[in-house]
Amino acid sequence: MSAPVQIASFDGKTALILHRPHPVVEAITRQLAQLGVRWAASWPDLPAGKAPGADLLFYDADMGHDGQFPWTPGEAPMPAIALIGSEAPGRLAWAIRLGADAHLLKPVGSGGVFTALVIAAEAFARRSAMQDELAGLRSRLEQREVVAEATACLMLQGNLPAEEAYARLRREAMTARLTIEAMAEKIVHELRAGHVHHRS
């Protein structure tokens, strides 16, 4: 059973709107003001120094391009909402590739911004959690690889079977008061540096 979704408050947040001057910007900013969201609009580039500090991003999917963003597509550091007016397949493909967390259809009327913000915030939270989980899995995999490499080094050094080499790695880690992974990294580092000492 999944946890209930918490509807976020956006009061006091800051939004960037990357869109040319247009009535759509005015419609969005009116709704943002009602939600207590501060905003800044810019075109064609993000304001220098402001993007990393913003909490929310609206961007024009009709005229936008990769060069407008200082991050890799799909890795926006805040919830990103695509403003879509054109249903041209190429434009939609670009908006998807950029990693929109939600979208808002143009022309924007008197509603819709809050819904887009809620969906984008939830999608961003899930995306961030998945990225953290993936980073953790990669880290654990790297640790397992270094333990396997250190065990192989000890096997070759002492002409030992795998179980005995791993037991030696554990003993050395305990003696040095290090984790097995840290001891394995030390052994591998010594080997690569060319000054592995004989281990008894």
- Give the number of domains in the chain: 2
pLDDT at 20 over 90: yes
Phi, psi of 184 (to 5 degrees): -60, -45
The two three-digit tokens of residue 14, written as one number:
């800051």
The two three-digit tokens of residue 165, written as one number:
């080499």
Instruction: Say whether both 89 and 28 belong to one domain.
Output: yes
Structural domain for 151, as ranges: 138-193
Please list the alpha-helical segments (H only) found in 35-178.
89-98, 113-158, 162-176
Instruction: Say whether both 152 and 178 belong to one domain.
Output: yes
Instruction: Say whether both 27 and 123 belong to one domain.
Output: yes
* Per-residue pLDDT tens over the stretch 79-114: 999 999 999 999 999 988 888 999 999 999 999 999
Does 9 reside within a domain?
no
Q: 180-193 and 113-158 are packed helices; what angle lies between their axes, rounded to 10 degrees?
A: 60
| 125: Cα within 13 Å, side-chain hemisphere | 10
- Dihedral over alpha carbons 98, 102, 108, 112 (to 10 degrees): -170
Q: Which amino acid is at 159?
A: N
What's the mean per-residue pLDDT of the chain?
A: 86
| Burial bucket for residue 54 (CB in 10 Å: 0-12, 13-18, 19+) | buried
pLDDT at 196 over 80: no
More confident residue, 62 or 158: 62
* Span 167-194, average pLDDT: 86
* Per-residue pLDDT tens over the stretch 151-177: 888 888 888 888 888 888 889 888 889
Instruction: Say whether both 68 and 109 belong to one domain.
Output: yes
Instruction: Say whether both 128 and 79 belong to one domain.
Output: yes
Say which residues have a Cβ less than 8 Å from residue 185's Cβ, sequence separation at least 6.
146, 150
Final residue before a domain boundary, out of 107, 133, 159: 133
Cis peptide before 77 (omega within 30 of 0): no
